[in-house]
Amino acid sequence: MSTKGRLYLDGVSVVFDGFRALNNLSLVVEPGEMRAVIGPNGAGKTTMMDVITGKTRPTSGTVRFGDHDLTRMDEADIANLGIGRKFQKPTVFDALTVFENLELALKAPRGPFACLRWILTGEAKARIDQVMEETGLTARAGDLAAILSHGQRQWLEIGMLLMQDPQLLLVDEPVAGMTDQETEHTAALLRRIAGERSVVVVEHDLEFVRALGRKVTVLHEGTMLSEGPIDQVQNDPRVIEVYLGR
Amino acid sequence: MSATIATPTPSRLRLGLRAATIAVILLLALMPVLNRLPADHALHISDFVVSITGKWICYAILALAIDLAWGYAGLLSLGHGAFFALGGYAIGMHLMRLIGPRGVYGHPVLPDFMVFLGYTDLPIFWWGFQSFPYALFMALFVPGVLAGVVGFLAFRSRITGVYFSIITQAMTYALMLAFFRNDMGFGGNNGFTDFKELLGMPLNAGGTRAALFYASLATLVGTYFLCAWITRSKLGRVLIAVRDAESRVRFLGYSVTQAKLFVFVLSAMISGLAGALYVPQVGIINPGEFSPGNSIEAVIWVAVGGRGTLIGAALGAFSVNAMKTWLTTIAPDLWLFALGGLFVAVTLLLPKGLLGLLRGRRS
């Protein structure tokens, strides 16, 4: 079986000063699959993302994307491999315009000298215009990201991910703090992005996860508690215990 | 959704600023000419004013270099004076070699201080400095290599913010202590002086001074265009992104280490060039140039002028130094208090500096 574009975590543990943020976690996401990851606060969801994107080194275990060993690569190399990440708190570059933010994210040579020589071609501009259209930011092209609303910042960040054209997308709580209307718009955006990409969505909002209608992984205390369709997971007595208490 | 928030347009102010900059450069270019007028002529400018302006032009180049690193990439170096001094030492070594047998001891090769300290041979690291192109090359190369090594170690280990500033401060302090030592072979605390000529022209001649003045002015303008080209390229936007959200830039696939290293090394080389232009004009270089206070003062010029603006950095270098010259004449004891007060006042009241004041809300 081909391992191309497949995310594979096996026996991953992360220990911070004796605290086990991840405890022998194993997870496989097949190419093109969309996976929701849920779990109470402190379950290790964000740490899992940190491990996959190279921000945190696992204490032990295997993390592979296709044939690449992610535990030996830094953030920039992993990003260039085709793994994009959307943060819980939208992080865009406030001092740059919407257009410039997207231009930075566009797939292109990343070295300092290449950036110095970079000239915006018609093709690149068309691609940026297209993403601004998709995210509904066309009218804000020349505005500094600093003056965007919370929802628009989220969409700009999603737009930046689209520009990167990743094979695997990690999305951390995309709808936290959004209005219902914005949530709807975001869900639609994510579904469109998904296409042939693998997507891992971390979310608190069970309704949103239900709306996605995909396989769900429940994390608890750094390890996998349950996995399957949302209805099966929601009826799992262990999940009920964790979420509702005894 | 309100999409009607006005986008900042190039205001009349900005065009005015551009015109003012060109006017200032033309006026500066006129200074050596006006210096040639008879002393009783109404437009005559004294030697003192021309030579001090030549110094300030070198400071303005240093300020541009600091602004490139600090204002755009967020690298607050408190040791840029070291790169400036190293460039000055490189050209100083050339000037010392040119003295030849005209020194006090009349040794054909060895500079006076070496004869005095009992050297019999020229140390290896002095070889080649009789050549001007080599000395000029070293004035760029040595600061560049030092910045490359310090930067690589710091950036690779993700040392940022105040920790990076402290390391650069320690770097210049360590160099100062080293250069104070006689056995380093750089003239100890006396440094180098008594220079005679450069490129066959006597240093004390009016024509040579004018030539150095124009060389500095041309370098300032050239450096400005180089920095403007970089900051307006995509690399400039990457640097701003690194300054504001470093880890996010990594997740976009850019090597933050490479971007920082590029700008830090280039900035150090520009500083070295500024030092190389400075030393022939002031006629002396000694380890005092490495003192941490010098580097901090240079950072204050940039803060006062407005960081991340380039023009503001140069403006800050001129205005703070003009103030220094004026204040150290009328009340020398007050200068350091005034400098400290200025820094506090600018930080609290004018975070974007003088240029921010002119430009209003933009950038």
The minimum CA-CA distance between B229 and chain A, rounded to whole Å, is 9
- Expressed as residue numbers, the domain containing B144 is 47-290
pLDDT at B7: 42
Q: Give A160's contacts in chain B (Cβ within 8 Å).
A: 252
Q: How far apart are CA B69 and CA B61, in angstroms?
A: 13
Helices of type H across A87-179: 98-105, 112-117, 122-135, 150-164
Q: Give B255's contacts in chain A (Cβ within 8 Å).
A: 76, 110-111
Domains, chain A, in order of start with CATH, read: 7-244 (3.40.50.300)
B248:A87 CB<8 A? yes
In a domain, B70, yes or no: yes
In a domain, B301, yes or no: no
Chain B residue whose CA is closest to A103 = B234
Residue-wise pLDDT for B15-36, tens only, equals 888 888 899 999 999 999 998 8
Burial of B147 (0-12, 13-18, 19+ CB in 10 A): buried
In a domain, B6, yes or no: no
- Mean pLDDT is lowest, of A34-48, A188-202, B67-81, B196-210, for A188-202
- CA B345 from chain centre, in angstroms, equals 24
pLDDT at B13: 73
pLDDT at B8: 47
A28 DSSP β-pair partners: A8
Burial of B268 (0-12, 13-18, 19+ CB in 10 A): buried
In a domain, B305, yes or no: no
Interface test with B, best of A93, A149, A155 (most B CBs within 10 A): A93
A103:B237 CB<8 A? yes
What is the number of structural domains in chain B? 1
A112:B238 CB<8 A? yes
Given a contact cutoff of 8 angstroms between Cβ atoms, the answer to whether A116 and A69 are in contact is no
Residue-wise pLDDT for A85-112, tens only, equals 988 777 899 999 999 999 999 988 999 9
In a domain, B345, yes or no: no
Does the beta carbon of A149 lie under 8 angstroms from any beta carbon of chain B? yes
Q: How far apart are CA A230 and CA A210, in angstroms?
A: 7
Question: Residue A196: pLDDT above 80?
Answer: no
Q: Give B240's contacts in chain A (Cβ within 8 Å).
A: 93, 95-96
Residue-wise pLDDT for B322-334, tens only, equals 999 999 999 989 9
A199 DSSP β-pair partners: A34, A169
Q: Which residue, chain included where needed, has tokens 């490359």?
A: B148
Q: Give B258's contacts in chain A (Cβ within 8 Å).
A: 111-112
Chain B residue whose CA is closest to A146 = B363
Chain A residue whose CA is closest to B246 = A93
Q: Which residue, chain included where needed, has tokens 């150290």?
A: B328
Q: How far apart are CA B289 and CA B250, in angstroms?
A: 37
Residue-wise pLDDT for A107-128, tens only, equals 889 999 999 999 999 999 999 9
In a domain, B2, yes or no: no
Token pair of A242, please? 């964790």
pLDDT at A245: 60
Higher-scoring residue by pLDDT: A155, B147: B147
For residues B127-135, average pLDDT: 95
B244:A94 CB<8 A? yes
What do you get for the CA distance between the two ends of chain B, in Å?
24
Q: Which of B237, B254, B259 sits opposite A100 (nearest CB)?
A: B237
Q: Which of A76, A79, A112 sits opposite B235 (nearest CB)?
A: A112
In a domain, B105, yes or no: yes
Q: What is the pTM of this model?
A: 0.90
Neighbours of B87 (CB within 10 A): 34
Residue-wise pLDDT for B177-189, tens only, equals 999 998 899 999 9
Q: Give A105's contacts in chain B (Cβ within 8 Å).
A: 252
Interface of B with A (CB under 8 A): 1, 3, 5, 7, 230, 233-235, 237-238, 240-241, 243-245, 247-248, 250-256, 258-259, 262, 363
pLDDT at A212: 75
Chain B residue whose CA is closest to A164 = B252
B252:A143 CB<8 A? no
